[in-house]
Amino acid sequence: MAQKKETREKPAEKAPSEEETKAPAITEKGKELAQDMDKLMDEIDDVLEKNAEEFVKNYVQKGGQ
Amino acid sequence: MRRRIVGIETEYGLTFFPTGKAYLPMEKVIGYLFEEVIPTGWPSNAFLPNGARFYQDTGCHPEYATPECASVRSAVIHDRAGERLLESRLGPAQAKLAEEGFRGRLYAYKNNTDTMGNTYGCHENYLVERQVDFWQLAERMIPFFVTRQIFCGAGKVFRQAGHARYSISQRATHIHEASSSSTTSSRSIINTRDEPHADAERYRRLHIIVGDSNMSEFTTHLKVGITCLLLTALEEGAVLPDLSLEDAVDALRQISLDLTLRSPLKLTNGRRMSALEMQWAYLEAAEHHFSGLTHGVFSALLGQWREVLKWLEKDFTQLADRLDWVAKYQLMQRFMERQNCTLEDPRVSMIDLQYHDIDRTRGLFYLLERDRRMVRLSTDPEVDHAMQYPPSNTRARIRGQFIRFAKEAGRPYSVDWTYLKLSGYFEETILCTDPFASHDPRVEELVTTATGDLYEI
């Protein structure tokens, strides 16, 4: 076990900034973001094909892996 | 952190929505898509100067396999570079089609299912030490792969007997076995294909085909990162809990349709546990094994895993800025409230698809990201760089150096994961069997002799 810890404490081969991934904490951000969605929803209306039904029906792929 | 080679293969859905009435064979679209990216007339190989492989897979899907990556972050960046590369080809291909009279829009989706129930995959590859007994590893890891969808599923409107429900995973209903060697007829959680592309006495390949394609970088980071973390624990001799499920395939489907995340699943030892409880059990075992860690990737991952499970238990909507299935769910909820419609509405199905559109001007995930509603881990310059250059600390660097040289010298070549060869009977094949080696004296000599200059990457 002691040996294992030693290996881990060796400096990383690459700069930490390249390896580590920091994400912001989960706070009440969800609620904050949920507000003010109206503008985005308008935009989504524009992006969706006018004929959604036909578009979705025609989305057929050959099976992959 | 012990280095591990990982790679992600993504098959994309491709469709052309005509503004006129014209039948267009997908083969033609795909031809234009790959034009200029892959040299024609040369031995058909599809490796790029960034070390990745970009090609046409089974069923006319463009597929991008990242180069060998030696960190989770690198895998996240290179996975996204693949999206950008395909995106950059859509415009030119659409323009060529228009010149020939085929007017319409070309769409590429990073998802896993179509409207008819066909599927295409996102495969993860992890290099693992062969000294770890594979069947034991499979036994201990399968319940993890079954339950991890609660944070790495991509979400989907699932239709059964004319009734629509929201499901957490796209792939869940397309998996039929716990492990098998097939990827097309009887898809499994763990595929037993063992091509390590490395010293086969030391390593084997763990090929996971149960996962969904992810748009969210944070989701990809958790999916790949936590899997690496558990594999390292196993390689270091940790004992993971035995959570063998009575029916792993059925459990996949049950979990996918259970937004409470709490339905009990039957284990072979007679106990019943929910997907959430099983993930907590894995997390605790990992925390125990890595208890001395105070910094680094694994330490951060353990914290993120704990936070995510905590919020999945408390209120999953708080994770809408980082988990794909939650982000999509929230978007659909909003839309349905606004339009006063249900999940049956075709526009909701269109949202289901459009979330995965890789065109950044109309893909819904990208609209969310643009508004800073999604956690982003990479930066644009990093992704741009990864479109051109391989990771600097794996074999992909050698491959990239070689391809760059061959292209600039105008020399035909053939390349695979483990070899490089300039065409011509007198040229030797350069074998590169160590995926951790990022320098090869033979390639460096070849490049310097020919040009007097190293293609430094």
Distance CA B249, CA B97 (A): 43
Q: What sign does the dihedral B312-B316-B318-B324 (CA atoms) show?
A: positive
For B76, the token pair is 């996240």
Distance CA B1, CA B6 (A): 14
CB B14 within 8 A of CB B108: yes
State whether residue A61 sits within 8 Å of chain B by CB: yes
Cβ-defined contact of B373 to A33 (cutoff 8 Å): yes
The ipTM (two decimal places) reads: 0.85
Q: What is the pLDDT of residue A38?
A: 82
* Residue A3 pLDDT grade (very low, low, confident, very high; cuts 50, 70, 90): very low
pLDDT in tens, chain B (457 residues): 568 999 999 999 999 988 876 667 777 888 888 876 665 544 345 899 999 999 887 777 899 999 999 999 999 999 999 999 999 999 999 999 889 888 889 999 999 999 998 999 999 999 999 999 999 999 999 999 999 999 999 999 999 888 999 999 999 999 999 888 877 778 999 998 899 999 999 999 999 999 999 999 999 999 999 999 999 999 999 999 999 999 999 999 999 999 999 999 999 999 999 999 999 999 999 999 999 898 899 999 999 999 999 999 999 999 999 999 999 999 999 999 999 999 999 999 999 999 999 999 999 999 999 999 999 999 999 999 999 999 999 999 999 999 999 988 888 888 999 999 998 767 789 999 999 999 999 999 888 876 655 555 5
Burial code (b: 16+ CB inside 10 Å, e: under 16) for B168-206 equals bbbbbbbbeebebeebeeebbbbbbbeebbbeeeebbbb
State whether residue A15 sits within 8 Å of chain B by CB: no
- pLDDT of A21 above 70: no
Give burial (CB, 10 Å; 0-12/13-18/19+) of B216. buried
Alpha carbon B327 to chain centroid distance?
A: 18
B222 or A65, greater pLDDT? B222
CB A22 within 8 A of CB B74: no
Cβ-defined contact of A62 to B292 (cutoff 8 Å): no
Q: What is the pLDDT of residue B452?
A: 58
| B416 given a catalytic annotation | no
- pLDDT of A13 above 70: no
Neighbours of B153 (CB within 10 A): 26
Distance CA B174, CA B111 (A): 13
For B296, the token pair is 């680094």
Q: What sign does the dihedral B111-B117-B121-B122 (CA atoms) show?
A: positive
Mean pLDDT of A4-29: 50
Q: What sign does the dihedral B43-B49-B52-B57 (CA atoms) show?
A: negative
CB B188 within 8 A of CB B138: no
Cβ-defined contact of B367 to A65 (cutoff 8 Å): no
Of the candidates B413, B398, B370, the one whose C-alpha atom is nearest the C-alpha of residue B455 is: B398
Nearest Cβ partner for B17 among A4, A34, A49: A49
**B425-431: long-range contacts, CB 8 A cutoff, minimum separation 24:** B430/B402
Q: Quick: pLDDT tens for B300-339.
A: 999 999 999 999 999 999 999 999 999 999 999 999 999 9
Residues of B in contact with A61 (CB under 8 A): 13-15, 59-61, 114, 116, 118, 120
Say which residues have a Cβ less than 8 Å from residue B163's Cβ, sequence separation at least 6.
none
Q: What is the pLDDT of residue A12?
A: 36
Q: What is the pLDDT of residue A30?
A: 55
Residues of A in contact with B371 (CB under 8 A): 40
Which residues partner with B156 through β-bridges? B167
Cβ-defined contact of A60 to B308 (cutoff 8 Å): no
Say which residues have a Cβ less than 8 Å from residue B90's Cβ, sequence separation at least 6.
B33, B106, B107, B108, B359
Mean pLDDT of A57-63: 87
Q: What is the pLDDT of residue B34?
A: 82
